[in-house]
């Protein structure tokens, strides 16, 4: 179950970590753990290799930076409500070489989705932190800003398998209420199937697959294409 925790960072991930050399030891450790426990390359593989890409809830910027460095033809923007994490992300982006990648970060303190059109919108482990009623509203807002033929890539922890879900829930309770490294008032894990049904009813072509092999958390990937 945990073999991914001991995998070595790939070339892109190593470069990402270099960008955060000036971050605190605690933040650098958080990024290493995040890499080890989240299927970042699988997320990246679902994103178009060029065009405008938005990450909603980018946190420290790990996934956004990875996407930008993987394909310099992408123009990647990460937004988040956490001002402290954005400071770290912005500092990391300043370490990019000229023309190495197109990467920007901005605040979304009001929770609004930046105006598109976006060729891809990526959300990674965000929905469980907001009220269930607001989850669908956020998804609808993202869909509204997609370009024709654009894609919404959603990676969340599912409620099954139950053992993995229990591990994920315990970790997030620690992150939000004890360590407080993640902003969020309540935890609400909506089954990925319910999110897929909502997006399908909204007219998108939706696929869902598990991406948790070797990970201790029940990672699930939802990919929704504008028709």
Tell me the CATH number at 152: 3.40.50.150
The bridge status of strand 51-56 relative to strand 118-124 is parallel
> Would you call 54 helix, strand, or coil by DSSP?
strand
Q: How many domains does the chain have?
A: 1
Is residue 112, in this structure, part of any structural domain at all?
no
Is residue 174, in this structure, part of any structural domain at all?
yes
Output the pLDDT for position 175: 53
Output the pLDDT for position 222: 98
Rounded CA separation 95/51 (Å): 22
Is residue 216, in this structure, part of any structural domain at all?
yes
Tens digit of pLDDT at every position of the chain (227 positions): 455 556 789 999 999 999 999 999 999 999 999 999 999 999 999 999 999 999 999 999 999 999 999 999 999 999 999 999 999 999 999 999 999 999 999 998 778 899 999 999 999 999 988 888 889 999 999 999 999 999 999 999 976 555 545 555 545 545 555 444 555 556 678 899 999 999 999 999 999 999 998 887 899 999 999 98
Q: Are the C-beta atoms of residues 35 and 59 closer than 8 Å to each other?
A: no
Q: Which domain holds residue 88?
A: 3-106+117-225
Output the pLDDT for position 1: 47
Is residue 126, in this structure, part of any structural domain at all?
yes
Helix axes 192-201, 132-144, angle to 10 degrees: 40
Is residue 57, in this structure, part of any structural domain at all?
yes
Q: 195 to each of 38, 63, 152, 154, 208, how far by Cα in Å?
A: 20, 22, 12, 10, 10
Task: Answer yes or no: pTM beyond 0.75.
Answer: yes
Is residue 111, in this structure, part of any structural domain at all?
no
Q: Are the C-beta atoms of residues 154 and 195 closer than 8 Å to each other?
A: yes
Reduced 3-state DSSP string for 181-199 = CCCCCCCCCCCHHHHHHHH
């Amino acid at each position: 179950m945990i073999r991914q925790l001991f995998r070595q960072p790939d070339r892109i991930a190593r470069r990402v970590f270099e960008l955060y050399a000036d971050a605190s030891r605690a933040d650098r450790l958080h990024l290493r753990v995040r890499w080890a426990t989240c299927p970042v390359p699988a997320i990246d593989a679902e994103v178009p290799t060029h065009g405008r890409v938005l990450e909603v809830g980018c946190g420290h910027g790990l996934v956004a930076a990875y996407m930008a460095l993987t394909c310099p033809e992408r123009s990647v923007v990460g937004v988040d409500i956490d001002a402290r994490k954005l400071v770290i992300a912005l500092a990391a982006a300043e370490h990019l070489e000229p023309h190495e990648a197109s990467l920007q970060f901005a605040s979304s303190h009001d929770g609004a989705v930046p105006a598109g059109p976006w060729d891809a919108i990526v959300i990674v482990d965000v929905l469980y932190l907001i009220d269930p009623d607001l989850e669908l509203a956020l998804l609808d807002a993202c869909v509204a800003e997609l370009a024709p033929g654009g894609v919404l890539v959603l990676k969340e922890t599912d409620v099954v398998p139950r053992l993995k879900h229990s591990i994920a829930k315990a970790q997030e309770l620690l992150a939000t209420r004890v360590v407080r490294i993640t902003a969020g008032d309540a935890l609400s894990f909506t089954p990925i199937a319910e999110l897929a049904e909502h997006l399908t009813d909204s007219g998108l072509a939706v696929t869902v697959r598990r991406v948790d092999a070797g990970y201790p958390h029940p990672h699930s990937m939802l990919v929704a294409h504008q028709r």
